[in-house]
Protein backbone atom coordinates (compact mmCIF):
# COMPACT_ATOMS: atom_id res chain seq x y z
CA UNK A 1 0.00 0.00 0.00
CA UNK A 2 1.29 3.49 -0.89
CA UNK A 3 -0.64 6.11 1.08
CA UNK A 4 -0.79 9.49 -0.65
CA UNK A 5 1.19 8.09 -3.59
CA UNK A 6 1.90 10.96 -5.98
CA UNK A 7 2.17 8.69 -9.02
CA UNK A 8 -1.03 6.81 -8.24
CA UNK A 9 -3.04 9.95 -7.57
CA UNK A 10 -2.01 11.83 -10.69
CA UNK A 11 -2.19 8.70 -12.85
CA UNK A 12 -5.88 8.58 -11.98
CA UNK A 13 -6.32 12.36 -12.07
CA UNK A 14 -4.41 13.46 -15.17
CA UNK A 15 -6.41 16.67 -15.63
CA UNK A 16 -5.60 17.83 -12.11
CA UNK A 17 -1.91 17.07 -12.70
CA UNK A 18 -1.89 19.03 -15.95
CA UNK A 19 -3.68 21.99 -14.37
CA UNK A 20 -1.22 21.97 -11.43
CA UNK A 21 1.78 21.93 -13.78
CA UNK A 22 0.39 24.29 -16.42
CA UNK A 23 -0.33 27.34 -14.29
CA UNK A 24 3.08 27.35 -12.61
CA UNK A 25 5.23 26.69 -15.67
CA UNK A 26 3.42 29.39 -17.68
CA UNK A 27 4.12 31.90 -14.89
CA UNK A 28 7.76 30.78 -14.69
CA UNK A 29 8.32 31.04 -18.44
CA UNK A 30 6.57 34.45 -18.56
CA UNK A 31 8.82 35.88 -15.84
CA UNK A 32 11.93 34.38 -17.42
CA UNK A 33 11.16 35.83 -20.86
CA UNK A 34 10.18 39.20 -19.37
CA UNK A 35 13.52 39.50 -17.56
CA UNK A 36 15.67 38.36 -20.49
CA UNK A 37 13.77 40.76 -22.78
CA UNK A 38 14.45 43.68 -20.43
CA UNK A 39 18.10 42.63 -20.07
CA UNK A 40 18.42 42.54 -23.87
CA UNK A 41 17.05 46.10 -24.07
CA UNK A 42 19.45 47.21 -21.32
CA UNK A 43 22.55 45.59 -22.85
CA UNK A 44 21.68 46.89 -26.33
CA UNK A 45 21.38 50.46 -25.06
CA UNK A 46 24.58 50.10 -23.01
CA UNK A 47 26.56 48.91 -26.01
CA UNK A 48 25.12 51.72 -28.11
CA UNK A 49 25.82 54.64 -25.83
CA UNK A 50 28.15 53.78 -22.95
CA UNK A 51 30.69 51.06 -23.62
CA UNK A 52 32.96 53.18 -25.86
CA UNK A 53 33.77 55.46 -22.93
CA UNK A 54 35.88 52.66 -21.46
CA UNK A 55 38.49 53.65 -24.04
CA UNK A 56 38.29 57.44 -24.12
CA UNK A 57 36.56 60.49 -22.68
CA UNK A 58 35.36 63.59 -24.51
CA UNK A 59 35.43 67.32 -23.89
CA UNK A 60 33.46 69.89 -25.89
CA UNK A 61 32.76 73.59 -25.57
CA UNK A 62 30.03 74.60 -23.13
CA UNK A 63 27.73 75.34 -26.04
CA UNK A 64 27.96 75.61 -29.80
CA UNK A 65 29.21 79.17 -29.78
CA UNK A 66 31.88 78.67 -27.14
CA UNK A 67 34.94 76.57 -28.08
CA UNK A 68 37.10 74.76 -25.53
CA UNK A 69 39.41 77.26 -23.77
CA UNK A 70 43.00 76.90 -24.91
CA UNK A 71 44.34 76.53 -21.36
CA UNK A 72 42.16 73.43 -20.84
CA UNK A 73 43.47 71.87 -24.06
CA UNK A 74 47.05 72.56 -22.96
CA UNK A 75 46.37 71.13 -19.49
CA UNK A 76 45.06 67.86 -20.95
CA UNK A 77 47.77 67.67 -23.62
CA UNK A 78 50.56 68.11 -21.04
CA UNK A 79 49.19 65.58 -18.52
CA UNK A 80 51.54 62.60 -18.14
CA UNK A 81 48.62 60.16 -17.98
CA UNK A 82 47.19 61.23 -21.35
CA UNK A 83 48.30 59.22 -24.37
CA UNK A 84 46.72 61.28 -27.14
CA UNK A 85 44.14 63.95 -27.95
CA UNK A 86 42.07 63.53 -31.11
CA UNK A 87 39.82 66.29 -32.51
CA UNK A 88 36.39 65.13 -33.65
CA UNK A 89 32.87 66.09 -34.67
CA UNK A 90 29.93 63.94 -33.65
CA UNK A 91 26.80 62.99 -35.63
CA UNK A 92 24.25 60.19 -35.53
CA UNK A 93 22.41 57.52 -37.51
CA UNK A 94 18.90 56.49 -36.53
CA UNK A 95 18.95 53.19 -34.63
CA UNK A 96 15.75 51.51 -33.43
CA UNK A 97 15.34 48.41 -31.28
CA UNK A 98 12.36 47.00 -29.35
CA UNK A 99 11.49 49.53 -26.68
CA UNK A 100 13.89 52.28 -27.78
CA UNK A 101 14.67 54.74 -30.56
CA UNK A 102 18.17 56.25 -30.54
CA UNK A 103 21.00 57.65 -32.64
CA UNK A 104 24.14 55.56 -33.15
CA UNK A 105 27.32 57.66 -32.92
CA UNK A 106 29.05 58.74 -36.13
CA UNK A 107 32.43 60.49 -35.83
CA UNK A 108 34.16 62.74 -38.33
CA UNK A 109 37.91 62.21 -37.85
CA UNK A 110 41.03 63.19 -39.74
CA UNK A 111 42.46 60.33 -41.79
CA UNK A 112 45.67 60.33 -39.76
CA UNK A 113 43.68 59.72 -36.55
CA UNK A 114 41.34 56.97 -37.73
CA UNK A 115 43.66 53.96 -37.41
CA UNK A 116 44.69 54.96 -33.88
CA UNK A 117 41.05 55.49 -32.93
CA UNK A 118 39.97 52.09 -34.26
CA UNK A 119 42.91 50.17 -32.80
CA UNK A 120 42.23 51.53 -29.31
CA UNK A 121 38.72 50.04 -29.49
CA UNK A 122 39.71 46.76 -31.16
CA UNK A 123 37.59 47.69 -34.16
CA UNK A 124 38.42 46.46 -37.66
CA UNK A 125 37.17 46.90 -41.21
CA UNK A 126 35.48 43.59 -42.06
CA UNK A 127 34.60 44.55 -45.63
CA UNK A 128 35.18 47.49 -47.94
CA UNK A 129 37.45 50.31 -46.80
CA UNK A 130 37.62 53.42 -44.62
CA UNK A 131 36.12 56.70 -45.89
CA UNK A 132 38.44 59.11 -47.67
CA UNK A 133 38.96 62.67 -46.51
CA UNK A 134 37.02 65.43 -48.33
CA UNK A 135 34.58 62.86 -49.75
CA UNK A 136 30.97 62.00 -48.89
CA UNK A 137 31.69 58.49 -47.60
CA UNK A 138 31.04 56.53 -44.44
CA UNK A 139 32.11 53.24 -42.84
CA UNK A 140 29.14 51.92 -40.87
CA UNK A 141 29.36 49.64 -37.87
CA UNK A 142 28.00 46.15 -38.62
CA UNK A 143 25.14 46.13 -36.04
CA UNK A 144 24.03 49.57 -37.23
CA UNK A 145 24.13 48.43 -40.86
CA UNK A 146 22.12 45.37 -39.85
CA UNK A 147 19.62 47.55 -38.00
CA UNK A 148 19.20 49.90 -40.96
CA UNK A 149 19.33 47.05 -43.48
CA UNK A 150 22.06 48.75 -45.52
CA UNK A 151 25.17 47.43 -47.26
CA UNK A 152 28.21 48.74 -49.13
CA UNK A 153 27.05 50.96 -51.96
CA UNK A 154 23.92 52.22 -50.17
CA UNK A 155 23.58 55.77 -48.88
CA UNK A 156 22.71 57.31 -45.51
CA UNK A 157 22.18 60.83 -44.18
CA UNK A 158 19.26 63.20 -43.77
CA UNK A 159 18.82 63.45 -47.53
CA UNK A 160 17.94 59.76 -47.44
CA UNK A 161 16.18 59.75 -44.06
CA UNK A 162 15.16 63.08 -42.56
CA UNK A 163 15.53 61.68 -39.03
CA UNK A 164 19.29 61.11 -39.38
CA UNK A 165 21.58 63.47 -37.47
CA UNK A 166 24.01 63.58 -40.39
CA UNK A 167 23.54 66.34 -42.94
CA UNK A 168 23.73 65.39 -46.60
CA UNK A 169 24.10 62.06 -48.34
CA UNK A 170 26.98 59.66 -47.69
CA UNK A 171 27.87 56.48 -49.55
CA UNK A 172 28.62 53.39 -47.47
CA UNK A 173 32.14 52.24 -48.44
CA UNK A 174 32.99 49.97 -45.51
CA UNK A 175 31.64 47.88 -42.64
CA UNK A 176 33.24 48.05 -39.19
CA UNK A 177 33.05 45.48 -36.42
CA UNK A 178 34.15 45.64 -32.80
CA UNK A 179 32.98 46.01 -29.23
CA UNK A 180 31.46 49.45 -29.80
CA UNK A 181 28.82 50.60 -32.30
CA UNK A 182 30.33 53.82 -33.69
CA UNK A 183 30.73 54.62 -37.39
CA UNK A 184 33.27 56.82 -39.21
CA UNK A 185 32.33 59.51 -41.74
CA UNK A 186 34.57 61.48 -44.12
CA UNK A 187 36.07 64.63 -42.67
CA UNK A 188 35.03 67.31 -45.18
CA UNK A 189 34.01 70.95 -45.14
CA UNK A 190 30.52 70.02 -43.94
CA UNK A 191 31.26 67.41 -41.28
CA UNK A 192 34.54 68.93 -40.03
CA UNK A 193 34.84 72.56 -41.18
CA UNK A 194 37.88 73.25 -38.94
CA UNK A 195 39.90 70.16 -39.91
CA UNK A 196 42.60 72.25 -41.63
CA UNK A 197 42.66 75.11 -39.14
CA UNK A 198 45.85 74.24 -37.28
CA UNK A 199 45.66 74.53 -33.49
CA UNK A 200 42.01 75.65 -33.54
CA UNK A 201 40.99 72.19 -34.71
CA UNK A 202 41.05 71.02 -31.09
CA UNK A 203 38.66 73.67 -29.82
CA UNK A 204 35.35 72.19 -31.07
CA UNK A 205 35.72 68.80 -29.41
CA UNK A 206 38.45 66.39 -28.37
CA UNK A 207 38.69 62.72 -27.44
CA UNK A 208 41.12 62.05 -24.63
CA UNK A 209 42.81 58.64 -24.71
CA UNK A 210 44.54 57.68 -21.45
CA UNK A 211 47.74 55.69 -21.22
CA UNK A 212 47.46 52.03 -20.26
CA UNK A 213 46.04 51.70 -16.74
CA UNK A 214 45.64 55.47 -16.29
CA UNK A 215 41.96 55.89 -17.21
CA UNK A 216 40.90 56.61 -13.63
CA UNK A 217 43.45 59.41 -13.20
CA UNK A 218 42.54 61.01 -16.53
CA UNK A 219 38.81 60.83 -15.78
CA UNK A 220 39.34 62.60 -12.46
CA UNK A 221 41.08 65.47 -14.24
CA UNK A 222 38.33 65.71 -16.86
CA UNK A 223 35.55 65.62 -14.26
CA UNK A 224 37.26 68.45 -12.35
CA UNK A 225 37.17 70.82 -15.35
CA UNK A 226 34.90 73.88 -14.90
CA UNK A 227 31.37 72.98 -15.98
CA UNK A 228 30.59 76.52 -17.05
CA UNK A 229 33.34 76.32 -19.69
CA UNK A 230 33.20 72.77 -21.08
CA UNK A 231 30.94 69.72 -21.36
CA UNK A 232 32.74 66.51 -20.45
CA UNK A 233 31.79 62.86 -20.79
CA UNK A 234 33.60 60.06 -18.97
CA UNK A 235 32.65 56.46 -18.29
CA UNK A 236 31.50 57.57 -14.82
CA UNK A 237 29.25 60.42 -15.92
CA UNK A 238 27.81 58.56 -18.91
CA UNK A 239 27.12 55.44 -16.84
CA UNK A 240 25.27 57.50 -14.23
CA UNK A 241 23.21 59.24 -16.89
CA UNK A 242 22.46 55.89 -18.52
CA UNK A 243 21.32 54.38 -15.22
CA UNK A 244 18.98 57.32 -14.61
CA UNK A 245 17.50 57.04 -18.10
CA UNK A 246 16.97 53.29 -17.80
CA UNK A 247 15.22 53.72 -14.46
CA UNK A 248 11.89 53.53 -16.27
CA UNK A 249 12.54 49.82 -16.79
CA UNK A 250 12.11 49.33 -13.05
CA UNK A 251 8.37 49.38 -13.63
CA UNK A 252 8.83 45.93 -15.14
CA UNK A 253 10.09 44.73 -11.75
CA UNK A 254 6.71 45.80 -10.38
CA UNK A 255 5.03 43.79 -13.14
CA UNK A 256 7.11 40.79 -12.08
CA UNK A 257 6.07 41.18 -8.45
CA UNK A 258 2.39 41.51 -9.36
CA UNK A 259 2.63 38.44 -11.59
CA UNK A 260 4.24 36.46 -8.77
CA UNK A 261 1.57 37.51 -6.25
CA UNK A 262 -1.26 36.74 -8.67
CA UNK A 263 0.08 33.33 -9.64
CA UNK A 264 0.89 32.35 -6.05
CA UNK A 265 -2.65 33.18 -4.93
CA UNK A 266 -4.23 31.41 -7.90
CA UNK A 267 -2.07 28.29 -7.89
CA UNK A 268 -1.89 28.04 -4.10
CA UNK A 269 -5.68 28.26 -3.82
CA UNK A 270 -6.28 25.62 -6.50
CA UNK A 271 -3.77 23.28 -4.90
CA UNK A 272 -5.40 23.72 -1.50
CA UNK A 273 -8.81 22.94 -3.03
CA UNK A 274 -7.36 19.71 -4.45
CA UNK A 275 -6.22 18.63 -1.01
CA UNK A 276 -9.46 19.77 0.59
CA UNK A 277 -11.35 17.49 -1.81
CA UNK A 278 -9.10 14.66 -0.58
CA UNK A 279 -9.93 15.43 3.03
CA UNK A 280 -11.81 12.17 3.46
CA UNK A 281 -8.82 10.21 2.15
CA UNK A 282 -6.57 11.98 4.63
CA UNK A 283 -9.00 11.33 7.49
CA UNK A 284 -9.18 7.61 6.71
CA UNK A 285 -5.38 7.38 6.65
CA UNK A 286 -5.28 9.06 10.03
CA UNK A 287 -7.95 6.67 11.34
CA UNK A 288 -6.06 3.53 10.29
CA UNK A 289 -2.87 4.56 12.01
CA UNK A 290 -0.93 7.08 9.92
CA UNK A 291 -0.15 10.05 12.12
CA UNK A 292 -0.73 13.60 10.97
CA UNK A 293 2.99 14.43 10.71
CA UNK A 294 3.48 11.60 8.20
CA UNK A 295 0.45 12.72 6.18
CA UNK A 296 1.77 16.30 6.18
CA UNK A 297 5.23 15.15 5.00
CA UNK A 298 3.66 13.26 2.10
CA UNK A 299 1.55 16.30 1.20
CA UNK A 300 4.60 18.57 1.31
CA UNK A 301 6.57 16.14 -0.85
CA UNK A 302 3.80 16.14 -3.44
CA UNK A 303 3.61 19.94 -3.53
CA UNK A 304 7.41 20.26 -3.84
CA UNK A 305 7.69 17.68 -6.62
CA UNK A 306 4.84 19.15 -8.68
CA UNK A 307 6.24 22.69 -8.38
CA UNK A 308 9.79 21.53 -9.15
CA UNK A 309 8.61 19.84 -12.34
CA UNK A 310 6.68 22.99 -13.24
CA UNK A 311 9.76 25.18 -12.66
CA UNK A 312 12.01 23.01 -14.82
CA UNK A 313 9.50 22.92 -17.69
CA UNK A 314 8.89 26.67 -17.36
CA UNK A 315 12.62 27.46 -17.44
CA UNK A 316 13.16 25.29 -20.51
CA UNK A 317 10.27 27.01 -22.28
CA UNK A 318 11.55 30.43 -21.16
CA UNK A 319 15.03 29.70 -22.53
CA UNK A 320 13.57 28.54 -25.84
CA UNK A 321 11.40 31.67 -26.16
CA UNK A 322 14.32 33.92 -25.14
CA UNK A 323 16.47 32.32 -27.83
CA UNK A 324 13.75 33.02 -30.39
CA UNK A 325 13.61 36.65 -29.21
CA UNK A 326 17.39 36.90 -29.46
CA UNK A 327 17.57 35.60 -33.02
CA UNK A 328 14.37 37.07 -34.50
CA UNK A 329 13.94 40.35 -32.62
CA UNK A 330 17.25 41.61 -31.23
CA UNK A 331 20.13 40.22 -33.28
CA UNK A 332 18.09 40.58 -36.46
CA UNK A 333 17.99 44.31 -35.63
CA UNK A 334 21.70 44.55 -34.80
CA UNK A 335 21.05 44.55 -31.05
CA UNK A 336 22.17 42.37 -28.14
CA UNK A 337 19.99 39.38 -27.30
CA UNK A 338 20.16 37.62 -23.93
CA UNK A 339 19.17 33.98 -23.42
CA UNK A 340 20.75 32.93 -20.10
CA UNK A 341 20.38 35.47 -17.28
CA UNK A 342 20.88 34.76 -13.57
CA UNK A 343 18.25 37.27 -12.43
CA UNK A 344 15.66 35.61 -14.69
CA UNK A 345 16.37 32.22 -13.06
CA UNK A 346 16.02 33.72 -9.57
CA UNK A 347 12.88 35.81 -10.21
CA UNK A 348 11.18 32.85 -11.90
CA UNK A 349 12.02 30.68 -8.90
CA UNK A 350 9.87 32.88 -6.66
CA UNK A 351 6.69 31.46 -8.20
CA UNK A 352 7.20 27.81 -7.17
CA UNK A 353 8.83 28.77 -3.85
CA UNK A 354 5.99 31.00 -2.68
CA UNK A 355 3.41 28.63 -4.14
CA UNK A 356 4.90 25.82 -2.04
CA UNK A 357 4.94 28.02 1.05
CA UNK A 358 1.39 29.37 0.73
CA UNK A 359 0.03 25.95 -0.18
CA UNK A 360 1.63 24.11 2.72
CA UNK A 361 0.43 26.57 5.38
CA UNK A 362 -3.35 26.03 4.82
CA UNK A 363 -2.82 22.29 4.18
CA UNK A 364 -1.02 22.04 7.52
CA UNK A 365 -3.92 23.79 9.26
CA UNK A 366 -6.42 21.48 7.56
CA UNK A 367 -4.51 18.30 8.49
CA UNK A 368 -4.13 19.40 12.11
CA UNK A 369 -7.91 19.84 12.31
CA UNK A 370 -8.65 16.35 10.95
CA UNK A 371 -11.17 14.43 13.09
CA UNK A 372 -11.48 10.95 11.51
CA UNK A 373 -14.12 9.70 14.00
CA UNK A 374 -16.40 12.64 13.26
CA UNK A 375 -15.87 12.17 9.50
CA UNK A 376 -16.85 8.47 9.74
CA UNK A 377 -19.93 9.32 11.83
CA UNK A 378 -21.00 11.93 9.27
CA UNK A 379 -20.64 9.38 6.47
The pLDDT tens digits of the residues spanning 230-276 come to 889 999 999 998 888 777 677 777 777 887 787 777 776 766 666 66
Q: Which of 194, 228, 262 is the last residue of a domain?
A: 228
Give the pLDDT of residue 209: 95
- Single out the residue in 173, 197, 228 at which a domain terminates: 228
Residue 62 counted as domain residue: no
Q: What average pLDDT does range 133-145 have in this prediction?
A: 92
Give me the pLDDT at residue 17, please.
63
In this structure, the answer to whether residues 224 and 262 fall within a common structural domain is no
Asked if 224 and 87 sit in the same domain, the reply is yes
The pLDDT score that the predictor gives to residue 174 is 94
Task: Give me the domain span that covers residue 152.
Answer: 67-228
Q: Which residue has the higher pLDDT, 164 or 370?
A: 164
More confident residue, 76 or 13: 76
Same domain membership, residue 199 and residue 100 = yes
HSE value, Cβ hemisphere, 13 Å, CA-based, for 5: 8
* 153-191 per-position pLDDT tens digit: 999 988 888 888 888 899 999 999 988 999 999 888 888
CB 190 within 8 A of CB 168: yes
Q: Is residue 99, in this structure, part of any structural domain at all?
A: yes
Query: Of 122-126, 202-206, 214-218, 282-286, where does mean pLDDT reach its minimum?
Result: 282-286
Give 178's DSSP letter: S
Whether residue 17 is found in the same domain as residue 73: no
Domain contains 61: no
Tell whether 108 is covered by a domain: yes
What are the strands of the beta sheet with 205-210, ordered from one edge?
A: 82-87, 205-210, 57-61, 230-233
In a domain, 38, yes or no: yes
The percentage of the chain sitting over the pLDDT mark of 70, rounded to a whole number, equals 82
Q: Closest by alpha carbon to 350, among 275, 209, 253?
A: 253
Based on the fold, state whether residues 121 and 166 are members of the same structural domain: yes
Q: Indicate the number of domains in the chain.
A: 2
Q: What's the distance, CA 123 to chain centroid? A: 23
- My answer on whether 98 and 170 are in the same domain is yes
122 and 176 co-located in one domain: yes
Whether 242 is covered by a domain: the verdict is no
H helices within the chain, ranges in order?
6-12, 14-49, 70-78, 111-120, 142-148, 215-223, 235-245, 251-277, 279-287, 292-325, 342-368, 372-378
Q: Are residues 199 and 288 in the same domain?
A: no
Q: Rounded to whole angstroms, what are the CA distances from 53 to 106, 256, 264, 286?
A: 14, 32, 44, 69
Between residues 285 and 219, the one the model is more confident about: 219
- The continuous run of DSSP H or E covering 125 comes out as strand 124-128
Residue 239 lies in a domain: no
Q: Return all residues near 11 (Cβ < 8 A) that are at least 6 apart.
A: none
Mean of pLDDT over the chain: 84
353 plus 310 within the same structural domain:
yes
In a domain, 241, yes or no: no
162 and 288 housed in the same domain? no
Residue 140, classed as helix, strand or coil, is strand
Element (H, E) at 83: strand 82-87
**Predicted confidence band of residue 1 (pLDDT cuts 50, 70, 90):** very low
pLDDT digits (tens, 9 = 90+) for 293-305: 777 787 788 888 8
Residues 173, 100 within the same domain: yes
- Looking at 197, 228, 259, which one is the last position of a domain? 228
Is the same domain home to 212 and 264?
no
Amino acid sequence: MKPLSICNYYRNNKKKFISSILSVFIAVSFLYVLNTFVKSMYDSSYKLGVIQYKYYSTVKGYNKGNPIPEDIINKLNDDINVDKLIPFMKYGLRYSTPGSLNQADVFALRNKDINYFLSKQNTTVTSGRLPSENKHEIAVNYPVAQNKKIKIGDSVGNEVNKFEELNGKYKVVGILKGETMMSIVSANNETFPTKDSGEDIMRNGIMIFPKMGKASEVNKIIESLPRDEVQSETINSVSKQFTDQMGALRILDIVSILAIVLMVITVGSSKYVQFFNRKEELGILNAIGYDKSYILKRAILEVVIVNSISYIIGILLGIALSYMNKMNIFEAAGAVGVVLYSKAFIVSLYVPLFTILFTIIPINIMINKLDPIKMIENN
